[in-house]
Amino acid sequence: MTQEDMVVINANIVISGSTLQKIVHTGKQLAGSDAKGHYRIDTADLVADLISQFLLDREFDAYVGNSAHYAKLMAGR
Protein backbone atom coordinates (compact mmCIF):
# COMPACT_ATOMS: atom_id res chain seq x y z
CA MET A 1 0.00 0.00 0.00
CA THR A 2 1.41 3.37 -0.98
CA GLN A 3 1.17 6.61 0.96
CA GLU A 4 -1.33 7.91 -1.61
CA ASP A 5 -3.66 5.03 -0.74
CA MET A 6 -3.89 6.11 2.89
CA VAL A 7 -5.90 8.66 4.82
CA VAL A 8 -5.30 9.87 8.36
CA ILE A 9 -8.28 9.34 10.66
CA ASN A 10 -8.37 10.78 14.16
CA ALA A 11 -10.35 8.40 16.34
CA ASN A 12 -11.02 7.70 19.97
CA ILE A 13 -9.45 4.39 20.87
CA VAL A 14 -9.77 2.71 24.25
CA ILE A 15 -6.51 1.35 25.66
CA SER A 16 -5.59 0.63 29.26
CA GLY A 17 -3.48 2.97 31.33
CA SER A 18 -0.90 0.24 31.74
CA THR A 19 -0.61 -0.12 27.97
CA LEU A 20 -0.09 3.61 27.58
CA GLN A 21 2.54 3.55 30.35
CA LYS A 22 4.31 0.68 28.58
CA ILE A 23 4.38 2.61 25.29
CA VAL A 24 5.74 5.78 26.93
CA HIS A 25 8.33 3.86 28.97
CA THR A 26 9.56 1.82 26.00
CA GLY A 27 9.61 4.84 23.68
CA LYS A 28 11.65 6.89 26.15
CA GLN A 29 13.99 3.96 26.76
CA LEU A 30 14.65 3.52 23.05
CA ALA A 31 14.94 7.26 22.30
CA GLY A 32 17.20 8.01 25.26
CA SER A 33 17.61 11.40 26.85
CA ASP A 34 19.77 14.37 25.92
CA ALA A 35 22.44 15.96 28.13
CA LYS A 36 19.76 17.81 30.13
CA GLY A 37 17.76 14.63 30.73
CA HIS A 38 14.99 15.56 28.28
CA TYR A 39 13.52 12.97 25.97
CA ARG A 40 13.26 13.81 22.28
CA ILE A 41 10.19 11.75 21.47
CA ASP A 42 6.57 12.61 20.80
CA THR A 43 4.77 9.81 22.60
CA ALA A 44 1.39 10.77 21.08
CA ASP A 45 2.86 10.26 17.60
CA LEU A 46 4.41 7.00 18.79
CA VAL A 47 1.02 5.71 19.99
CA ALA A 48 -0.58 6.66 16.65
CA ASP A 49 2.23 5.01 14.68
CA LEU A 50 2.04 1.82 16.74
CA ILE A 51 -1.72 1.55 16.24
CA SER A 52 -1.42 2.25 12.51
CA GLN A 53 1.31 -0.37 12.11
CA PHE A 54 -0.72 -2.88 14.12
CA LEU A 55 -3.73 -2.35 11.83
CA LEU A 56 -1.55 -2.84 8.75
CA ASP A 57 0.18 -5.93 10.14
CA ARG A 58 -3.09 -7.52 11.29
CA GLU A 59 -4.77 -6.88 7.93
CA PHE A 60 -7.51 -4.53 9.07
CA ASP A 61 -8.64 -4.24 5.43
CA ALA A 62 -9.54 -7.94 5.38
CA TYR A 63 -11.21 -7.67 8.79
CA VAL A 64 -13.56 -4.87 7.70
CA GLY A 65 -14.33 -6.82 4.53
CA ASN A 66 -16.09 -9.49 6.61
CA SER A 67 -19.63 -8.32 7.41
CA ALA A 68 -19.87 -10.79 10.32
CA HIS A 69 -17.59 -8.47 12.32
CA TYR A 70 -20.21 -5.71 12.10
CA ALA A 71 -23.15 -7.56 13.67
CA LYS A 72 -22.06 -7.32 17.31
CA LEU A 73 -21.07 -3.67 17.01
CA MET A 74 -24.19 -2.60 15.14
CA ALA A 75 -26.55 -4.40 17.51
CA GLY A 76 -25.79 -1.98 20.33
CA ARG A 77 -26.49 1.18 18.27
Q: What angle do CA 9, 12, 15 make, to 5 degrees?
A: 120
Classify residue 6: in a domain, yes or no: no
Q: Does 1 have pLDDT greater than 70?
A: no
What domain range is 48 assigned to? 12-75
C-alpha to C-alpha distance for 45 and 64, rounded to whole angstroms: 24
Q: Does 3 have pLDDT greater than 90?
A: no
pLDDT digits (tens, 9 = 90+) for 32-57: 999 999 998 999 999 999 999 999 99
Classify residue 26: in a domain, yes or no: yes
Q: Rg (Cα) of the chain, in Å, rounded?
A: 17
Classify residue 57: in a domain, yes or no: yes
Classify residue 52: in a domain, yes or no: yes
Q: Please state the domain count of the chain.
A: 1
Cβ-proximal residues to 43 (8 Å cutoff; 6+ apart), any chain: 23, 24, 27, 28
Q: Does 72 have pLDDT greater than 90?
A: no
Classify residue 38: in a domain, yes or no: yes
pTM comes to 0.79
Classify residue 1: in a domain, yes or no: no
